[in-house]
Structure 1
Amino acid sequence: MKLLSRAGLTICLTMLPVSVALGAPTYLSCSFPNPPKEPQIFNFALDASSGTLGVHVPETGSERKVRAVFGASTVTANEGFVAWEIDLSRRAVIRDKRMVGEKDRGACKDISAEESGFGQ
């Protein structure tokens, strides 16, 4: 039986909190400028353990879940008509409105599951 080296053990122990953290979704509320109207708000549920991104629109109550790709500090999802790129380190999002060929940027903040509006 081969034992882990000290470096290998350190790496395993360092990764442990990451794998535990993957169990709970992260919730974000992102605001997109929409002059002269109020900003557009989208709430996101980022669930790395299931590989999905939930999208909730508080204004209309619509909600959907799509497949997502989770990187070290980004999450991307393609819904066909719109693609999302969320930068977790900067708490920012890019919305690519593919049907009209426009991109815009939003600012995000952490929110709780209750504040997100999912499943309500």
Structure 2
Amino acid sequence: MHLASVRIITDDVPRAAAFYERLLGMSAERPVPQFAVFRAATGTLAIGAAETVPEPGFADAHGGVIVEFQADSPAAVDEAYQGLATRTDSLVQPPTDMPWGNRSLLVRDPDGNLVNVFASLPR
């Protein structure tokens, strides 16, 4: 598993993407309207619409940031979930197949920060 990105959750993806395009001097990849991503050699910044997280009001309540780790396979996402199964207080969303092609597990770290462990689903 490796650090994949930091994702900002917003109610206005086009506005946020335009800001970061101006700041970074590069265009965002926009695979779907609810998502934008900036990939650089040193890291990735992702921007997601509020509906990409299962928690209403997330952006306002939590500063709108998610730390994301990419697992090697969807099975590895399930294994991470099993490893946290006794920590039910940290669970936000069990492993779920997302419409954009990832299997995703959302948990909170001990300080309440949202952590996404995900892997690409087979096509």
* TM interval, short-chain normalised: under 0.3
Query: Normalization by structure 1: what TM-score?
Result: 0.26
Taking CA–CA contacts closer than 8 Å with sequence separation of 6 or more, which of the two structures ends up with the larger relative contact order?
2
Query: Normalization by structure 2: what TM-score?
Result: 0.26
Larger-gyration structure (1/2): 1
